[in-house]
Copies of this chain bind each other. A is one copy, B any other.
Amino acid sequence: MNKLVIVGTVAFDAIETPFGKTDKILGGAATYIGLSASNFDINGAIVSVVGGDFPEEYITMLKEKGLDVSGLEIVPEGKTFFWSGKYHNDMNTRDTLATELNVLADFNPIVPEDYKDAEVVMLGNLHPIVQMGVINQMKNPKLVVLDTMNFWMDCALPELMEVIKKVDVITINDEEARQLSGEYSLVNASKKIMSMGPKYVVIKKGEHGALLFHGEDMFYAPALPLAEVFDPTGAGDTFAGGFTGFLAKTEDYSFENMKNAIIYGSALASFCVEKFGTERILDVSKEEIHNRLHQFKSLTQFDIKIT
- Measuring CB to CB, which residues of chain A are less than 8 angstroms from any residue of chain B? 40-41, 89-91, 184-188, 205, 208-209, 211, 218-222, 225-229, 246, 249-250, 257, 259-260, 263, 290, 293-294, 297, 299-307
Q: A297 contacts B307, CB within 8 Å?
A: no
**Quick one: given A184-B90, A297-B304, A301-B301, are A222 and B225 in contact (CB under 8 Å)?**
no
Identical chains bound together, number? 2
In the complex, 19 of the A-B residue pairs with CB atoms within 8 angstroms, ordered by the A residue number, are A41-B307, A89-B184, A185-B227, A185-B228, A186-B225, A208-B209, A219-B299, A220-B222, A220-B299, A222-B222, A246-B307, A249-B307, A257-B305, A260-B302, A263-B304, A290-B306, A293-B304, A297-B302, A300-B300
Cα distance, A301 to B227, chains bound together (Å): 24
Give A287 Cβ to nearest chain B Cβ, in Å: 11
Cα distance, A44 to B265, chains bound together (Å): 45
> B residues within 8 A CB of A205?
208
Specify which of A208, A246, A263, A294 lies most central, judged by the most chain B CB atoms within 10 Å of its CB: A208
Give A76 Cβ to nearest chain B Cβ, in Å: 39
Contacts A185-B225, A259-B302 aside, 19 further interface pairs with beta carbons under 8 A come to A40-B307, A90-B184, A185-B227, A187-B225, A188-B227, A208-B208, A209-B209, A211-B225, A218-B299, A219-B302, A220-B222, A220-B225, A221-B300, A250-B305, A260-B304, A263-B304, A293-B304, A294-B304, A300-B300
Specify which of A221, A300, A304 lies most central, judged by the most chain B CB atoms within 10 Å of its CB: A300
Give A216 Cβ to nearest chain B Cβ, in Å: 11
- Pick from B90, B263, B302: contact of A263, CB under 8 Å: B302
Give A265 Cβ to nearest chain B Cβ, in Å: 13
Question: CB-nearest residue of chain B relative to A223?
Answer: B220
Specify which of A41, A222, A229, A259 lies most central, judged by the most chain B CB atoms within 10 Å of its CB: A222
Cα distance, A219 to B260, chains bound together (Å): 19
Cα distance, A220 to B302, chains bound together (Å): 10
Give A269 Cβ to nearest chain B Cβ, in Å: 16
**Quick one: given A250-B305, A305-B250, are A218 and B208 in contact (CB under 8 Å)?**
no
> B residues within 8 A CB of A290?
304, 306
Cα distance, A215 to B229, chains bound together (Å): 20
> B residues within 8 A CB of A306?
290, 293
Give A271 Cβ to nearest chain B Cβ, in Å: 16
